[in-house]
């Protein structure tokens, strides 16, 4: 590498550092909020640890000069006794260094744990605050991965590097003062000997960060392949379809490429570091040769030579440490940029500055000319869609998969806002309401409900966790959903842990769905939305649940999304959807009489049941 290239890379690194410099105070503020008083203790330890090596160097000169003088006069106790205070002081310095290092390790560990927990909280809070639309964009997963994995430990590392930098600087400044007494060119030689190491650190840091950013998706893919090979949800298909070798090959090949590129970066850095180290050794050899000549001339004594060697050696070591810490700080700031970029994301769905109070669902919910496309797509999931859901009634939506039925749930819950049109509650646009209050008045059974690896009690209680429901309400919700029978078969009933992650019991798909139904029924919500509520139930369980359904939702507004017409029969009005539009509406009898899409589908389903 030429001098011009080195200067160019150094200039690029400095320019990039200036752009990322604003993240530095934010990182320190974050650490201070998380660790508090530990930061003060840590700073005091660094100051003392930075000064003790200087004391050690001066004591070394005193001891060497004293030993040389003692040898000159023939030794003896009287000659040795003046060295005892210096020897005792040296022992205290060495003990102090070891003790302070141990205390510093404890303080850094406690500080790092607090900071990491604080960052976890920030990331979790931000992930819950952001809209579902972020999860529709692949780039968001890269941002989330870099925040959760790459940047999680960076603030703690940044503080530790800054501490090492400060400690090294204190020691280096003191050593520079010592070396200055031998000539102004000595500190300059010390600085010059470590300049190549600085360029190596900066160059490698930029290259590694660039590599990490470019390969975030590939790294996430390796995690995905690893999960497919090890998680229970995929275990059956992996074995039945013989997919293990395929996913193992995908994982192996991708890891092979990532490993090769990372090793190449490390090899390049190692070679450059070796060259920089040789330059440093050559500089030290020149300085020591010059000092050796001064000793031969009688200009300085052996103690001064030992002092010089210790000061120059410690200075070089501190310079390397300082540059290494500077490089790590630079690297950490680069990754902290990813963390703060994630934390700075703003949700598109939010509560207005002056929200209206929710009137309660008294007249109905109305969707007027709704047009909506999912992020990253141009095909409308809903196109000029209009629907009215009267309060106090049961409304059913039926249609083929992909017709846009489940999209309605996401709009009603205001997980998304439509591009065009309005959603009204009793004539008021839902965007005018407080967002948490709006969602609190809705309960939903999602098409793919979460299976919480927790107790049965909590699996139901999560439906209204803020109200801390008691055992009586939990059992009532379980009975309403028909979940009480499978629960009674569990040895610990409502205290039984479910799911295999923590050694719990496993339920069938239909039993998990009943638990999710119980969770939905637990919340005292005005609007109940059920997305395929009986899809995982057998015909006997479905018939048992449907017999009680109207009684369960009495006095509340219900929207059922289903492709089972036996379930839709419970509704007061049925709407048939196709390609994001309502094509038929009416009661069951009215739709059969119309002999349209509903009647044809009904006849086909009934024929299949009979067969």
Give, in order, the Cα–Cα distances in Å from 599 to each of 398, 403, 593, 594: 12, 18, 8, 7
Average pLDDT, rounded, for the chain: 77
Q: Which two tokens stand for residue 541?
A: 């369980």
Residues 406 and 335 in one domain: no
Cβ-in-10-Å burial (0-12, 13-18, 19+) of 254 comes to middle
Residues 196 and 58 in one domain: yes
Cβ atoms within 10 Å of 320's Cβ, excluding its own:
20
Q: Is the pLDDT of residue 427 over 80?
A: yes
Report d(CA 330, CA 207) in Å as an integer: 12
Residues 334 and 370 in one domain: no
Q: Once rounded to an integer, what is the mean pLDDT over residues 241-263?
A: 86
Q: What percent of the chain has pLDDT over 90?
A: 3
User: Which string of DSSP letters, residue by residue, matches 280-306?
Assistant: HHHHHHHHHHHHHHHHHHTSS-HHHHH
Q: Is the pLDDT of residue 283 over 70?
A: no
Write down which residue in 343, 378, 406 finishes a domain: 343
Containing structural domain, residue 187: 3-343
Question: What does the DSSP 8-state code read for residue 501?
Answer: T
**Residue 359: inside a domain, yes or no?**
no
Q: What pTM, to 2 d.p., does this model score? A: 0.69
Q: Is the pLDDT of residue 6 over 90?
A: no
Q: Is the pLDDT of residue 181 over 70?
A: no
pLDDT for the residue 457: 93
Residues 379 and 323 in one domain: no
Residues 90 and 144 in one domain: yes
Q: Once rounded to an integer, what is the mean pLDDT over residues 19-41?
A: 74
Number of H helices, E strands in the chain: 22, 10
pLDDT tens across 437-484, in order? 888 888 888 888 888 888 999 889 988 888 888 899 999 889 888 888
pLDDT for the residue 466: 84
Q: Is the pLDDT of residue 202 over 70?
A: no
Question: What residues contact residue 98 under an 8 Å CB cut-off, 6+ apart?
Answer: none
Q: Is 609 in contact with 592 (CB distance < 8 Å)?
A: no
pLDDT for the residue 495: 92
Write down which residue in 313, 343, 373 finishes a domain: 343
pLDDT for the residue 16: 62
Q: Once rounded to an integer, what is the mean pLDDT over residues 308-328?
A: 65
pLDDT tens across 498-531, in order? 887 777 888 888 888 888 888 888 888 888 888 8
Report d(CA 569, CA 574) in Å as an integer: 8
Residues 409 and 337 in one domain: no
């Amino acid at each position: 590498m030429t001098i011009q290239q080195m200067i160019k890379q150094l200039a690029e690194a400095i320019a990039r550092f200036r752009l990322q410099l604003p993240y530095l105070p934010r990182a320190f503020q974050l650490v201070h909020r998380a660790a508090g008083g530990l930061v003060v203790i840590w700073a005091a330890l660094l100051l003392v640890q930075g000064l003790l090596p200087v004391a050690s160097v001066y004591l070394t000169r005193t001891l060497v000069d004293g030993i040389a003088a003692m040898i000159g006069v023939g030794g003896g106790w009287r000659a040795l006794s003046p060295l005892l205070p210096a020897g005792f002081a040296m022992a205290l310095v060495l003990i102090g260094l070891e003790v302070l290092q141990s205390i510093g390790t404890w303080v850094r560990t406690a500080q790092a744990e607090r900071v990491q927990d604080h960052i976890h909280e920030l990331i979790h809070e931000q992930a819950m605050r952001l809209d579902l639309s972020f999860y529709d964009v692949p780039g968001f997963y890269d941002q989330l991965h870099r925040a959760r994995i790459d940047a999680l430990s960076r603030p703690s590392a940044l503080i530790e590097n800054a501490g090492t930098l400060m400690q090294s600087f204190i020691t280096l400044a003191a050593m520079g003062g010592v070396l200055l007494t031998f000539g102004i060119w000595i500190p300059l030689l010390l600085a010059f000997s470590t300049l190549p190491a600085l360029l190596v650190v900066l160059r490698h840091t930029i290259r590694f960060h660039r590599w990490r950013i470019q390969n975030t998706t590939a790294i996430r893919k390796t995690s995905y392949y690893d999960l497919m090979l090890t998680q229970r949800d995929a275990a059956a298909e992996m074995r039945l379809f013989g997919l293990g070798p395929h996913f193992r090959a995908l994982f192996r090949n991708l890891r092979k490429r990532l490993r090769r590129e990372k090793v190449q970066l490390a090899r390049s850095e190692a070679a450059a570091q070796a060259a920089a180290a040789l330059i440093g050794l050559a500089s030290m050899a020149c300085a020591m040769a010059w000092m050796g000549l001064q000793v031969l001339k009688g200009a300085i004594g052996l103690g001064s030579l030992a002092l010089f060697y210790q000061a120059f050696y410690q200075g070089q070591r501190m310079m390397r440490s300082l540059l290494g810490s500077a490089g790590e700080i630079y690297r950490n700031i680069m990754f902290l940029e990813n963390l703060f970029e994630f934390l700075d994301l703003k949700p598109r769905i939010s509560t207005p500055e002056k929200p209206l109070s929710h009137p309660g669902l008294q007249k109905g919910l109305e969707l007027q000319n709704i047009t909506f496309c999912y992020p990253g797509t141009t095909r409308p999931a809903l196109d000029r869609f209009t629907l009215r859901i009267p309060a106090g009634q049961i409304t059913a939506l039926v249609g083929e998969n992909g017709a846009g039925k489940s999209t309605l749930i996401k709009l009603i819950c205001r997980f998304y806002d439509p591009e065009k049109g309005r959603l009204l509650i009793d004539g008021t646009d839902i965007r005018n309401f407080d967002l948490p209050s709006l969602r609190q008045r809705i309960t939903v059974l999602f098409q793919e409900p979460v299976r919480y690896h927790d107790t049965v009690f909590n699996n139901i209680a999560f439906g209204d966790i803020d109200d801390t429901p008691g055992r009586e309400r939990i059992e009532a919700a379980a009975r309403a959903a028909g979940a009480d029978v499978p629960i009674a078969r569990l040895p610990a009933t409502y205290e039984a842990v479910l799911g295999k992650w923590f050694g719990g019991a496993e339920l069938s798909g239909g039993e998990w769905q009943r638990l999710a139904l119980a969770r939905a029924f637990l919340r005292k919500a005005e609007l109940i939305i059920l997305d395929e509520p009986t899809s995982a139930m057998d015909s006997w369980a479905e018939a048992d649940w449907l017999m009680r359904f109207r009684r369960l939702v009495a006095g509340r507004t219900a929207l059922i999304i289903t492709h089972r017409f036996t379930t839709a029969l419970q509704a007061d009005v049925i709407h048939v959807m196709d390609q994001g539009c309502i094509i038929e509406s009416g009661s069951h009898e009215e739709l059969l009489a119309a002999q349209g899409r509903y009647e044809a589908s009904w006849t086909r389903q009934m024929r299949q049941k009979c067969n």
